[in-house]
Amino acid sequence: MRTRGASGTPARARRARDGAFLTSDAARRLDEDLTAGRACEARSLEALMRAAGRAAATATLDAFGGTDFVVLCGPGNNGGDGLALAREVATRRRDARVSVWYPKGAGTNELYGELVRECRETANVEFVDEDAVLGMMRERATSAAATPRCFVDALFGFSFKGAVRAPFVNVLNALVALTNGDARETFTVSLDIPSGWDVDAGAPDDGDIFVPDLLVSLTAPKQCCATLDDPARGEPRPRVKRMAQTHVVAGTFLTDALCEKYGLEQIPLRVDSDREYVPLDLWRR
């Protein structure tokens, strides 16, 4: 039976409206607060990114027992989180084969450049091109002898807007096809936002969508996750709803003051936690 609050509002709908989720704008402001040290101790972007990559790597390694990882990295900080994760995974699971697709590269960004250098020089991560990634995805559907492979989606985070542009279209389309088809021995992880989803509105309404096996929300889930189980938005499609089962939050940056400022009291992970990530079952209580 669904529980009701004092006002008679279904509890789950009430929680969603209470602000367990961050809009793209609030997520950006919260990250600025974290680096500026407003309502918390200041941390550099590099420290935040390395901590996010480390925690997301732990969640990924706990969920996927294989040794083959392909990390898809976009042009922004979400891609930086992916680079940090790739290095962590390759360092911690020494028998792992870790490939990174990073089509735009680090450019002049020193932090991204340093993460790329560490991947190459200290962790034996291999950088691959689009043809190689598409081949690794296609092989999933055709090879009966496929060994387990994990694709990590670090393409776009909370600054994603509009329709996907080059050079990401083919790979993201292949990821959608892969996870909607008969992909053998495939595990998918998204960092912060399932790529292709509108950060505030959620999964696209029409056509196939990419639904990862594991979503690792960083600091707090974004508004797109409200479609998982918010009766006020209507029933989510079954595949989207299933994702609520494998949704964790990572990144121990939230102080009580920040939770109050952004209405995130329900987020269980705080700055003094000794756990790197926790399952988010806000929608199932």
- Positions touching ligand LZDS7PUF (CB under 6 A) are 31, 45, 48-49, 52, 74-78, 80-81, 156-165, 168, 191-193, 218-219, 251
Supply the minimum distance, in Å, between the C-beta of residue 124 and ligand LZDS7PUF: 23
Reduced to 3 states (helix: H, G, I; strand: E, B; else coil), residue 68 is: strand
Burial class from Cβ neighbours inside 10 Å (0-12, 13-18, 19+) for residue 228 reads buried
Beta strands in 21-111 (DSSP E): 68-73, 97-101
Phi-psi region of 111 (alpha: psi -120 to 50; beta: other; left: phi over 0): alpha
Of 154 and 244, the one with the shorter C-beta distance to ligand LZDS7PUF is 154
Question: Rounded to an integer, what distance in angstroms lies between the CA atom of residue 217 and that of residue 190?
Answer: 8
Question: Rounded to an integer, what distance in angstroms lies between the CA atom of residue 45 and that of residue 42?
Answer: 10
Supply the minimum distance, in Å, between the C-beta of residue 123 and ligand LZDS7PUF: 18
Of 104 and 237, the one with the shorter C-beta distance to ligand LZDS7PUF is 104
Of 144 and 163, the one with the shorter C-beta distance to ligand LZDS7PUF is 163
In this structure, are residues 268 and 24 in contact, taking their beta carbons and an 8 Å threshold? no
Supply the minimum distance, in Å, between the C-beta of residue 127 and ligand LZDS7PUF: 18
Of 183 and 193, the one with the shorter C-beta distance to ligand LZDS7PUF is 193
In this structure, are residues 158 and 197 in contact, taking their beta carbons and an 8 Å threshold? no
Supply the minimum distance, in Å, between the C-beta of residue 150 and ligand LZDS7PUF: 18
Supply the minimum distance, in Å, between the C-beta of residue 46 and ligand LZDS7PUF: 9
Of 2 and 165, the one with the shorter C-beta distance to ligand LZDS7PUF is 165
Reduced to 3 states (helix: H, G, I; strand: E, B; else coil), residue 219 is: coil
